[in-house]
Structure 1
Amino acid sequence: MYNTKTSFVYGFHGTDENIAFEILNGKRYFKVSKNNYDWLGDGTYFWENNFERAKQYADETSRRGSSTVKRPFVLGAVIDLGNCLDLLNQKHLDHLALMYENFKEDVRKEKKFLPSNQSFISKDTDFKKRELDCAVIRWAHNKAKFEGSKFDTVRAAFWEGKELYPNAGFREQNHIQIAVINPNCIKGIFLPRNKDMGYHQDSFL
């Protein structure tokens, strides 16, 4: 009853500058990520209301040898979350826990092994290779499709990076991420602009 989000959110997508302008001009679409370790399953990924983290991600990606990101850039999008698997909502957290139990039972019957969440590198304290989470969310999508109620988006908060300060409950890269499954939920694309520092709130025309 309360799955559908009535408000729009800003999402930011880190990519290459040339690719960004091709998307902006309608020459290509946003890439749909389908890696088996994607944190929120299949979809186009956005950082919710977080331009700086999207830019940081694009910069980090550009430093990988095989990366298609040569000139880091950020595109903005207006996203209608629609029928959202919102993992900031207790009902949906409970639902995903149930999907895990169903998935685990199916894996057991097929005499296979459960995937696991791991780090890409041994010293990394974050589980960035989230094969278990990805598999469970995919299972939840398949269950929803079977019941005739597809999810449009998936949304979740992540605590990532080092402690912000000693014994902190916050991390350096905390963020909310959105995976858009239904491309029609992307209502508009825009170039993020810098704040006009010459404008003063108390000025009169």
Structure 2
Amino acid sequence: NEPHNKKKIKEPFVIGAVIDLRRCLNLLQIDALLELKTAYNFFRDRHTDAGYDTFPENKPINGEEKLIRHLDCAVIEMVHVLKKALKKEPYDTIRGVFFEGKDLYEGAGFREKNHIQICVRNRNCIKGYFLPRAKGPDSYPDSLLQELNLSAS
């Protein structure tokens, strides 16, 4: 897995993808959550035994949501370290749900920014990509259309 590019995004856009989840660490399922918890316990214990002064933390943005997820990332990486040590097949993808934002309405179980994210670790799971239907003639940045070899017409 290569680190992602840290360049500043000049023109944000949406792109669709067809993804085969294959071996998926599906964090909407109890067994996957138990595996994640086991990896956390292992990570915490090894971190403590090694005598490190700091421990990764999930951190809030603007004092609200914990959107910077250093701890979660470290624990998910530990899942993969443990699978490799046990000579088990690695996960190709990870799927998780995120409950973010303010309550949608008073007493709601839904929040303004609930969403599901998929992390693709194995690029072979990406079967194709596409531009979702445009809402108007200028919906896509010219730079994206050029990169995908599409014309604006």
TM-score by length of 2: 0.79
Let me know the Cα RMSD of the aligned residues: 2.0
Q: Name the counterpart of 2:56.
A: 115
Q: Name the counterpart of 1:128.
A: 67
Asked whether 1:33 is paired with 2:4, we answer yes
Q: Secondary structure at the match of 1:178?
A: strand
Q: Which amino acid is the alignment partner of residue 90 of structure 2?
A: K
Distance 1:111 1:34 in 2: 32
Which runs of structure 2 are paired with 1:39-78 in the superposition (5 Å)?
68-78=8-18
Structure 2 gap ranges (5+) = 136-153
Which of the numbers 156, 172, 177 marks the counterpart of 2:96? 156
Q: Name the counterpart of 1:42.
A: none
User: Runs in 1 of length 4+ with deviation above 4 angstroms?
Assistant: none
Deviation at 1:70, TM superposition (A): 2.2
Which of the numbers 133, 140, 152 marks the counterpart of 2:79? 140
Give the length in aligned residue pairs: 132
Q: Deviation per CA, 1:82-115, whole angstroms, max 9, x where unpaired?
A: 1111100111001111111111110011011321
Structure 1 gap ranges (5+) = 1-30, 36-66, 196-205
TM-score by length of 1: 0.60
The alpha-carbon distance between structure 1 residues 32 and 184, as it changes in their structure 2 partners (threshold 3 A), is farther
Q: Which amino acid is the alignment partner of residue 120 of structure 1?
A: I
Q: Secondary structure at the match of 1:95?
A: helix
**Larger strand fraction of residues:** 1
Q: Secondary structure at the match of 2:77?
A: helix
Q: Which amino acid is the alignment partner of residue 169 of structure 1?
A: G
